[in-house]
């Protein structure tokens, strides 16, 4: 499960750090309440990271900025199971920051891999096409980036790629989900992804459609938890 999302944020002085919005800040500050119970069930909890309209992003960082930013991330090593990167909304080339380049994203991932043993993953969007084979070797997985889309990226082994990305706000039909999940299974894919998990069980049929590709079913406990954190 990805906590979506904390942000990479640059300031007017050129400093780049992690920023947690009120929702992620509340969750990360109370791991025994919101994170550890999921981990106890075998669910990996991943810290999602996203651009924040400040001009700084994963693909335009200097070595010094990579150092401070990745230091910020690994401060959560004792809380989360990994770090996911979604290269959107950085607004490269604005607010005094340079345009994206072909090496920074790879250098950031490689630097982070040198500081943590936790999972590192990417949403296949933005500048993921610049990632080097060395950077990709440090990734646990990459996720196909088009809502309700299906497809592989030849830069990734199938075993490290999630080719199906289901938007639960407006999902594919259950028949399509079952069919695409079966395709992913038969291609030895890393898995599939669901986006916009609702706070109620009304999309249970979508999960069941995917589970049926493995001969399984999904049930709901009957308990729905209200949001009691953040904004």
Question: Are both 135 and 193 inside the same structural domain?
Answer: no
The set of residues, in sequence order, having a beta carbon less than 8 Å from that of 57 and lying 6+ positions away, is 8, 51, 87, 90, 91, 92, 97, 100, 126, 127
Q: Would you state the pLDDT for residue 118?
A: 98
Question: Which pTM was predicted?
Answer: 0.95
Q: How many CA atoms lie within 13 A of 194 on its CB side?
A: 20
- Among candidate residues 118, 139, 160, the one where a domain is terminated: 139
Residue 128 shares a structural domain with residue 154: no
Q: Are 90 and 14 contained in the same domain?
A: yes
175 and 64 share one domain: no
Whether the CB-CB separation of 124 and 145 falls below 8 Å is answered with yes
Same domain membership, residue 149 and residue 125: no
Residues 10 and 100 in one domain: yes
- 83 with 151, same domain: the answer is no
Q: Report how far apart, in Å, the C-alpha atoms of 42 and of each of 15, 38, 56 are.
A: 37, 7, 34
pLDDT mean across residues, the chain: 95
51 closest CA partner among 32, 25, 69: 69
Does residue 133 sit in the same domain as residue 218? no
Which domain, by its residues, includes 180?
A: 145-231
pLDDT digits 0-9 by tens, 153-181: 999 999 999 999 999 998 899 999 999 99
Q: Which pLDDT score, from 0 to 100, does residue 229 have?
A: 86
User: What domain count does the chain have?
Assistant: 2
Catalytic residues: 88
Domain boundary among 77, 105, 139: 139
Is 120 found in the same domain as 191? Answer: no
For residues 14 and 60, membership in a common domain is answered with: yes
Same domain, 46 and 120: yes
Neighbour tally for 173: CB within 10 Å: 11
Of the residues 82, 111, 139, the one at which a domain ends: 139
Report the SS3 class of residue 100. Answer: coil
Ranges of residues in the chain with a pLDDT under 70 are: none
CATH of the domain at 7: 3.20.20.80
pLDDT in tens, 92-113: 999 999 999 999 999 999 999 9
Cβ neighbour number for residue 107 with a 10 Å cutoff = 20
Statement to judge: residues 124 and 156 lie in one domain = no
């Amino acid at each position: 499960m990805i906590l979506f999302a904390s942000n990479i944020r640059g300031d007017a002085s050129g400093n780049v750090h992690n920023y947690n919005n009120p929702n992620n800040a509340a969750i990360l500050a109370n791991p025994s309440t919101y994170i550890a119970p999921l981990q106890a069930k075998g669910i990996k909890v991943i810290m999602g990271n996203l651009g924040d309209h400040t001009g700084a992003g994963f693909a335009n960082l200097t070595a010094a900025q990579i150092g401070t930013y990745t230091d910020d991330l690994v401060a959560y090593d004792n809380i989360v199971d990994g770090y996911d990167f979604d290269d959107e909304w950085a607004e490269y080339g604005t607010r005094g920051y340079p345009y994206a380049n072909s090496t920074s994203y790879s250098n950031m991932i490689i630097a982070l891999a040198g500081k943590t043993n936790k999972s590192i993953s990417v949403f296949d969007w933005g500048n993921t096409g610049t990632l080097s084979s060395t950077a990709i070797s440090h990734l646990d997985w990459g996720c196909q980036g088009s809502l309700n889309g299906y497809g592989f990226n030849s830069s990734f082994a199938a075993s490290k790629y999630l080719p199906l990305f289901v938007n639960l706000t407006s999902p594919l039909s259950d028949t399509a989900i079952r069919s695409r999940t079966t395709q992913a299974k038969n291609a030895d894919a890393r898995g599939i992804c669901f986006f916009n998990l609702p706070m109620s069980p009304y999309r249970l049929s979508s999960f069941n459609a995917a589970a049926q590709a493995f001969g399984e079913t999904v049930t709901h406990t009957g308990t729905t938890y209200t949001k009691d954190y953040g904004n």
